[in-house]
Amino acid sequence: MQPDDSIPYAIVGSGVPMPERFMPSDQEMWLLWTAAEYVLSTRDKGFLEEKIDDDKRRYSGSAGITIREMLAHTYAHFTKVIGVGRHGLIRMLTGDYNDTVVDGKVAKEYIDEAYSQGESVLNAAMATYVLDLSLIHIF
């Protein structure tokens, strides 16, 4: 997770976020889905209480932060920062499951508008499954 609780587009080298202009709105859902599926498949709910080293000590001091707490920050970023647009669908940001839905498809004069106001039917559909599964198995 990055300091603003977003999930980077990709990781390169020694855990360094890849410098990338894409900021799709589905990154957090992939993490929540993976964690929920892990708990569902293994029934290992103790995994969620494991502490991970938080190098920046952003959240819980020197003791670290639990995986459940980190996932809660991911959930909050997704629902409050990415959020929904005026039609109630998940905002698209620079892309959704289709990273190139805006780049190369939207006229240059409308790019900023697409980034700030665009909504994603794909991500809204994904969210109906992932968020429900996450609430049941993680939170």
Q: Does residue 99 carry a pLDDT above 80? A: no
The count of domains in the chain is 1
> Quick check: is 16 in a domain?
no
DSSP labels, the chain: --TTSPPPS-EETTTEEP--S--BTTHHHHHHHHHHHHHHHH--GGGGG-EE--TT--SSGGG-EEHHHHHHHHHHIIIIII-B-TTSSBB-BT-SSSTTSSTTTS-GGGHHHHHHH-B-HHHHHHHHHHHHHHHHHT-
22-71 pLDDT, tens per residue? 888 999 999 999 999 999 999 999 999 999 876 654 555 556 789 999 99
pLDDT of residue 61: 56
Q: Which residues pair with 84 in a beta bridge?
A: 90
Average pLDDT score over residue span 68-77: 95
Mean of the per-residue pLDDT values of the chain: 89
> Quick check: is 2 in a domain?
no
> Quick check: is 6 in a domain?
no
> Quick check: is 54 in a domain?
yes
> Quick check: is 80 in a domain?
yes
Q: Which domain does 65 fall in, by range?
A: 24-137
> Quick check: is 15 in a domain?
no
> Quick check: is 18 in a domain?
no
> Quick check: is 7 in a domain?
no
Average pLDDT score over residue span 100-109: 85
